[in-house]
Amino acid sequence: MPGAARPRRPNAAQQRFNRPLPKQSDSVEAGPPLAALAAEARRRFAAAAAGSIDRKAAGAAAVALSTSRSVSGARRVLQTYRLDDVVRAEALCLLDELTIGAPAMTA
């Protein structure tokens, strides 16, 4: 057919976007699903007193868990957030408590 447009080859960005996703077992650590961990962090956020360090830490942990694909990814996210050192330490302890099931250690 004269004048028919040829299909365009995808550029590099489109090829990266269209590649298959890794298997869930490859990218997510064993343990409770992140959605359940984030929901528990949100529950603790709602139960904590307004303005408390526990509330700030639970909120930061909930956001980190809901934006990450693994618990180690959530830890990296918490390290990059602009947080007070005490809040960051509490949020990391909360992640430990949620993933391991051990009581959180406070500073």
- What confidence tens digit (pLDDT) does each residue in 16-26 have? 566 555 554 44
Percent of the chain residues topping a pLDDT of 90: 57
pTM for the structure as a whole: 0.66
Side-chain half-sphere exposure of 65, counting CA atoms within 13 A? 25
Q: Per residue in 44-70, pLDDT tens?
A: 999 999 999 999 999 999 999 999 999
Averaged confidence pLDDT in the chain: 80
Q: What is the dihedral of CA 70, 74, 77, 83, to 10 degrees?
A: 180
Whether the predicted pLDDT of 7 surpasses 90:
no
> How long is the chain?
107
* Residues in contact with 45: Cβ distance below 8 Å, sequence separation at least 6, in sequence order: 55, 58, 59, 62
The confidence score (pLDDT) of residue 78 equals 94
Overall average pLDDT of the 88-97 stretch: 95
What is the average per-residue pLDDT within 81-93? Answer: 94
